[in-house]
């Protein structure tokens, strides 16, 4: 009930479980979740385990056994009996644990492994006690938490320890063992025991999980470790079964499965919404672009074709219309590029061209802005051509964007240096300014959508134009060329550097 009403969050329950709990992706082995108990067993901080591969915790000498175990496990309910494994503690000293695991399908491509981990190093120390001759079977069976049953092949009880009625909710046992089992599980358990009975080589059976009757909650889950009960001449008399209640663990597993399928559902919904949004963005941008281009064209026509007929005021007004229309067209073009990048429709047309010449061209095209802000441009370019195989228009857009930013975010009379180098088979371009610079947390944002940083209180020379989409497109262009882009800065007012590397071929 408490779980259903959501009063106790599932993470709390898992963190406080007696056993360690671990979840990892079965394809990559990346750890998805560990509870506090798991971290305590391995004496490691939770943060150290986030995102790492579970295999990093398995010593090399144990890897083969571990992979065998995983391969065997995909038989539903059937587990390798008492599978123990050494795991590396934080200080790289292995520790012995018992691992009880199940698979759960997360989505079409991913399965997760849910493991319960029990520290055996403490149990091992206690083992010697059992060699003491004074303790007899009955005393042990009555004092442990698991129920011990001995049954005949037909299911009739030979012995049941007092723990069995306790596990069943203090129910008096008047029936055969098989009558206690859930009807849906009974068939395969009988098959399982019959098969084992026929196989002379098997003495210990792999543990199985099933449901048994309970006085108050209909059925509960138990795990059974089973051994054949043989007489002196190795004739089968029945089975010795140790039952452990695992209802809480099963509940947690179920909660976890529900939790995952809920997450998966939400994820799908979000992806659908994102697709609708991208489609809307793309359609709206297309619809906007056509009338804008027409407004721009007619305004240019009026300005150029009506010389002498317009007043000074009219020319000024038309120029404002033209400038603003161009700004909106740029924004719409950026939106279209971003939606193409998102939908995988951003096409690259590669051909050979001289990138040194292209850099000169970009600088020349922006000379009005450079002059207006009285910037000092220092070019450190090779004195010979460098032919690259890339999309000339897109690289033009990339360099122009980086240069335009350097101009916008550097105060008047600032210095902007442009470097172009050929390193091995790669082109390394970078642009350095002595402008407003970037704080570390800002660097993380700027290559994301709408990563515009607003700082009206900090600096007053910044040109407020821009949408925060330019660097996303730059990143897309560089990645489409199998390259890398990054920014560095020492902080506010310490200038910035923007680098990209792309392969020549
Ligand atoms: P926009 O310039 O349109 O805002 P961009 O995607 O080109 O969008 O840049 C994102 C943000 O990165 C800018 O808002 C600015 O804060 C920061 N930025 C980009 N270039 C520089 C630079 N040279 N110096 C300082 N900050 C920069």
For 242, the enclosing helix (H) or strand (E) is: strand 236-245
157, burial (CB in 10 Å: exposed 0-12, middle 13-18, buried 19+): middle
Whether 474 has a pLDDT exceeding 50, the answer reads: yes
Q: Using the atom order of ligand 1, give the atom closest to the CA of residue 401.
A: 7
User: Which pair of tokens denotes residue 389?
Assistant: 């195989």
Whether 504 has a pLDDT exceeding 90, the answer reads: yes
Q: How far is the CA of 234 from the centre of ligand 1 (A)?
A: 81
Ligand 1 neighbour 435 (Cβ under 6 A)? yes
Whether 314 has a pLDDT exceeding 60, the answer reads: yes
Whether 280 has a pLDDT exceeding 80, the answer reads: yes
Ligand 1 neighbour 146 (Cβ under 6 A)? no
Q: Give the list of residues 6+ apart from residue 409 with CB closer than 8 angstroms, or none.
A: 433, 435, 436, 462, 463, 496
pLDDT of residue 81: 58
Ligand 1 neighbour 468 (Cβ under 6 A)? yes
Whether 433 has a pLDDT exceeding 50, the answer reads: yes
Q: How far is the CA of 402 from the centre of ligand 1 (A)?
A: 9
Q: Give CA separation, 501 vs 430, 475, 478, in Å.
A: 9, 11, 8
Q: Using the atom order of ligand 1, give the atom closest to the CA of residue 498.
A: 23
Ligand 1 neighbour 436 (Cβ under 6 A)? yes
Q: Using the atom order of ligand 1, give the atom closest to the CA of residue 405.
A: 20
Whether 262 has a pLDDT exceeding 60, the answer reads: yes
What secondary structure letter does DSSP report for 428?
E
Write the pLDDT tens digit of every residue in 321-336: 999 999 899 889 998 9
Question: Residue 98 CA to chain centroid, in angstroms?
Answer: 27
* For the chain, percent of residues with pLDDT exceeding 90: 44
Contact status, residue 183 vs residue 189, Cβ threshold 8 Å: no
pLDDT of residue 21: 86
The pTM score is: 0.54
Mutate which of 409, 416, 437, 499 to test ligand 1's pocket (most atoms within 8 Å of Cβ)? 409
Write the pLDDT tens digit of every residue in 296-313: 999 999 988 876 788 889
Ligand 1 neighbour 470 (Cβ under 6 A)? yes
Whether 184 has a pLDDT exceeding 90, the answer reads: yes
Over residues 419-435, the mean pLDDT reads 94
Ligand 1 neighbour 115 (Cβ under 6 A)? no
Whether 5 has a pLDDT exceeding 50, the answer reads: no
Contact status, residue 483 vs residue 503, Cβ threshold 8 Å: yes
- Which parts of 120-167 are beta strand (E)? 147-152, 157-160
Mutate which of 446, 455, 461, 485 to test ligand 1's pocket (most atoms within 8 Å of Cβ)? 446
Q: Which of 161-170, 179-188, 219-228, 482-491 is predicted with the least confidence, judged by mean pLDDT?
A: 161-170
What domains can you pick out in the chain, each with its CATH number? 2-126 (3.30.450.20), 133-245 (3.30.450.20), 252-343 (1.10.287.130), 351-503 (3.30.565.10)
Ligand 1 neighbour 459 (Cβ under 6 A)? no
Cα 470 to Cα 404: distance, rounded to the nearest angstrom:
10
Over residues 166-191, the mean pLDDT reads 90
DSSP reduced 3-state for 74: coil
pLDDT of residue 123: 57
pLDDT higher at 7 or 221: 221
pLDDT of residue 15: 74
Over residues 252-265, the mean pLDDT reads 92
Ligand 1 neighbour 451 (Cβ under 6 A)? yes
Write the pLDDT tens digit of every residue in 118-139: 887 765 454 444 444 444 666 6
pLDDT of residue 129: 43
pLDDT of residue 284: 86
Q: How far is the CA of 410 from the centre of ligand 1 (A)?
A: 11
Ligand 1 neighbour 488 (Cβ under 6 A)? no
Whether 116 has a pLDDT exceeding 70, the answer reads: yes
pLDDT higher at 419 or 94: 419
Position 456 confidence tier, pLDDT thresholds 50, 70, 90? low
pLDDT of residue 344: 84
Q: Which of 38-52, 62-76, 136-150, 219-233 has the highest mean pLDDT?
A: 219-233
Ligand 1 neighbour 409 (Cβ under 6 A)? yes
- Which parts of 393-481 are beta strand (E)? 415-423, 426-433
pLDDT higher at 448 or 278: 448
Q: How many helices (H) and strands (E) in the chain?
A: 16, 17
Q: How far is the CA of 505 from the centre of ligand 1 (A)?
A: 29
Q: Which of 87-96, 103-112, 239-248, 454-463 has the highest mean pLDDT?
A: 239-248
Ligand 1 neighbour 245 (Cβ under 6 A)? no
pLDDT of residue 464: 60
Over residues 277-287, the mean pLDDT reads 85
pLDDT of residue 345: 86
pLDDT of residue 431: 98
Atom 11 (ligand 1) nearest CA: 452
Mutate which of 454, 471, 474, 488 to test ligand 1's pocket (most atoms within 8 Å of Cβ)? 471
Position 254 confidence tier, pLDDT thresholds 50, 70, 90? confident
Q: Using the atom order of ligand 1, give the atom closest to the CA of residue 495.
A: 24
Ligand 1 neighbour 405 (Cβ under 6 A)? yes
Atom 13 (ligand 1) nearest CA: 452
Ligand 1 neighbour 14 (Cβ under 6 A)? no
Write the pLDDT tens digit of every residue in 396-415: 999 999 999 999 999 999 99
Ligand 1 neighbour 446 (Cβ under 6 A)? yes
Contact status, residue 82 vs residue 98, Cβ threshold 8 Å: yes
Ligand 1 neighbour 340 (Cβ under 6 A)? no
């Amino acid at each position: 009930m408490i779980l259903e009403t959501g009063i106790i969050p599932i993470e709390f329950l898992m963190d406080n479980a007696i056993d360690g709990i671990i979840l990892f992706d079965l394809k990559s082995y990346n750890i998805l979740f560990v509870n506090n108990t798991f971290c305590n067993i391995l004496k490691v901080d939770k943060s150290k385990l986030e995102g790492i591969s579970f295999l990093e915790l398995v010593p090399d000498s144990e890897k083969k056994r571990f992979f065998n175990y995983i391969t065997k496990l995909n038989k539903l309910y059937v587990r390798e009996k008492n599978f123990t494994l050494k795991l590396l503690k934080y200080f790289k000293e292995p520790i012995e644990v018992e691992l009880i695991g199940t698979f759960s399908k997360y989505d079409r491509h991913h399965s997760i492994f849910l493991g319960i981990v029990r520290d055996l190093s403490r149990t091992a120390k206690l083992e010697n006690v059992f060699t003491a001759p004074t303790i007899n079977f009955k005393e042990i069976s009555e004092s442990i938490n698991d129920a011990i049953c001995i049954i005949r092949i037909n299911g009739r009880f030979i012995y049941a320890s007092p723990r069995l009625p306790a596990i069943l909710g203090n129910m008096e046992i008047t029936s055969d063992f098989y009558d206690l089992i859930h009807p849906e599980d009974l068939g395969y358990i009988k098959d399982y025991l019959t098969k084992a009975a026929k196989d002379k080589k098997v003495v210990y059976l792999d543990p199985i999980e099933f449901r048994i009757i309970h006085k108050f909650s209909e059925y509960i889950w138990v795990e059974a470790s089973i051994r054949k009960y043989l007489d002196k001449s190795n004739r089968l008399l029945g089975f010795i079964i140790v039952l452990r209640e695992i209802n809480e663990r099963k509940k947690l597993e179920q909660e976890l499965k529900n939790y995952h399928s809920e997450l998966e559902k939400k994820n799908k919904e979000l992806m659908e919404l994102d697709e609708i949004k991208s489609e809307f963005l793309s359609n709206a941008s297309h619809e906007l672009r056509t009338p804008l281009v027409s407004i721009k064209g007619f305004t240019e026509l009026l300005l150029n074709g009506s010389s002498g007929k317009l007043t000074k005021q009219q020319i000024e007004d038309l120029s404002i219309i033209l400038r603003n229309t161009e700004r909106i067209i740029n924004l719409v073009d950026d939106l279209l590029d971003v939606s193409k990048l998102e939908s995988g429709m951003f096409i690259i047309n590669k051909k050979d061209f001289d990138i040194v010449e292209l850099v000169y061209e970009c600088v020349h095209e922006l000379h009005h802005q450079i002059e207006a802000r009285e910037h000092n441009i220092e070019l450190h370019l090779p004195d010979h051509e460098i032919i690259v195989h890339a999309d000339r228009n897109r690289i033009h857009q990339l360099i122009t964007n980086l240069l335009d930013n350097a101009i916008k975010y550097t105060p008047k009379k600032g210095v902007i240096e442009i470097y172009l180098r050929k390193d091995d088979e790669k082109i390394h371009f970078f642009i350095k300014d002595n402008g407003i610079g970037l704080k570390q947390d800002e660097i993380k944002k700027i290559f994301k959508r709408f990563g515009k940083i607003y700082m009206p209180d900090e600096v007053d020379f910044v040109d407020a134009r821009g949408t925060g989409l330019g660097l996303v497109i730059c990143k897309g262009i560089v990645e489409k060329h199998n390259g890398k882009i990054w920014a560095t800065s020492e902080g506010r007012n310490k200038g910035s550097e923007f680098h990209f590397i792309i392969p020549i071929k």
